[in-house]
Amino acid sequence: MVETATRTPAATPANPGTLSRRWLLVWLAGTTAALLATVVVTVAIGPAGLTPSDVAQVVATRVGLGDLLGLAAPDTLADGIVWQLRMPRVLTAAAVGAGLGVCGVVMQSLTRNPLADPYLLGLSSGASFGAACVLVLGLTAVLPVAAFVGSTAALVATLALASASGRGAGGLSPARTVLAGLAVSQLAAAATSFVIFWSAKGDQYREILSWLLGSVAGATWTSVAVAGGAVLVIGTLLASTGSVLDAFTFGDTSAAALGVPVARVRWGLLLAVALLTGALVSQSGAIGFVGLILPHAVRQLVGARHRALLPLSMLCGATFLVWADTLARTVFAPRELPVGIVTAAIGAPVFAVLLWKGRARS
């Protein structure tokens, strides 16, 4: 051991401070470019035979750059497909994917559970229950509110159950939190089934079922506004909490010893997650696995530092869900799958691998 803190360390590799900051910028630029390219390419994919340049032409004209760039007016069919059908759908998928990605990171960090995500902790089921209730009553207008109330109630129930059943010195026990989430999830699912069984009629079945499975097929510009707005405001707020979440690395006690107001941060952030989940579920239904596997994949690539993990999980989540939705509407064309089935088909095996790797490590 060396006696003074001032002695120069024996080996000084390139300062990781600047290195990691530069790498973060490279990653951010790369994933942003990938997302933009994804949007343009996937909007073109489909039976109408459009090209990415058709898409660019429509978008440029719509946002008022057509004259400036000297573009010809796009034909009305292309305009209709791109601007009225596919663009809202792709953008909604992107917003939902981004939101689920960032929610997953925050939940995993606050519960210190690598398996936590809005779906696993009952938030999505709670939101679906809220949505199903108002759909059955025909009150579509208050759907986002009902979804938020449902997700918050589920969150409170999960955390209350987890902390009532025992509190370790490090705060909420990860295993208990997931078990509590599963219980709440099952309860909300049963309640939703009951509501459907008891009162749904005619088309409501389909509508509610698409909620339960998760789908962005009916997305409109209103969906973009709700999901995108929520992601821009709440998602960006959550994405800026990197240093705070880092402080939770070694648990609540250690976060508190680093000067973090643990209780206030935990409840504030979880409430923000519930709010965002509610907004997303109100537009897309409960899409599973995105908030779970995206943060894991990104962590493998860039490490566990939240300042990188949060924004990159948002960007990658957006790209992932857009491609998943594109698969959902093209694989069995002209029939469509709810995107939740696609994310589950991809996510479940990945989840199994993660469990396996976790088992091998412990």
Q: Are 326 and 110 in contact (CB under 8 A)?
A: no
CA dihedral of 201, 202, 205, 206, whole degrees rounded to 10: -160
For another protein, the closer of residues 193 and 249 by Cβ is: 249
Q: Where are the beta strands (DSSP E) in 201-288?
A: none
> Which of these segments, 136-144, 187-195, 274-282, 304-312, binds another protein (CB under 8 A)?
304-312
Does position 88 interact with another protein (CB under 8 A)? The reply is no
For another protein, the closer of residues 80 and 170 by Cβ is: 170
Residues 200-239 that bind another protein (CB under 8 A): none
For another protein, the closer of residues 15 and 76 by Cβ is: 15
For another protein, the closer of residues 12 and 76 by Cβ is: 12
Residues 232-271 that bind another protein (CB under 8 A): 240-244, 246-247, 249-254, 256-261
Binding mask 98-117 for another protein (x = CB under 8 A): -----------x--x-x---
Q: Are 91 and 221 in contact (CB under 8 A)?
A: no
**Is residue 297 helix, strand or coil?**
helix
Does position 4 interact with another protein (CB under 8 A)? The reply is yes
- The rounded distance, in Å, linking the Cα atoms of 87 and 84 is 7
Least spacing, CB of residue 174 vs another protein, in Å: 8
For another protein, the closer of residues 23 and 221 by Cβ is: 23
Burial class (CB in 10 A: 0-12, 13-18, 19+), 29: exposed
Size of the site for another protein (CB under 8 A): 46
- Please tell me whether the peptide bond between 13 and the residue prior to it is cis, using omega within 30 degrees of 0: no
Does position 15 interact with another protein (CB under 8 A)? The reply is yes
Neighbours of 281 (CB within 10 A): 34
Rg (CA), the chain: 22
Q: Are 126 and 154 in contact (CB under 8 A)?
A: yes
| Total residue length of the chain | 362
Least spacing, CB of residue 316 vs another protein, in Å: 17
Residue 168, beta-bridge partner list: 171
Q: Which of 89, 176, 266, 299 binds another protein (CB under 8 A)?
A: 299
Which stretches of the chain bind another protein, using CB under 8 A? Answer: 1-7, 9-12, 15-18, 21, 109, 112, 114, 170, 174, 240-244, 246-247, 249-254, 256-261, 299, 303-305, 307, 361
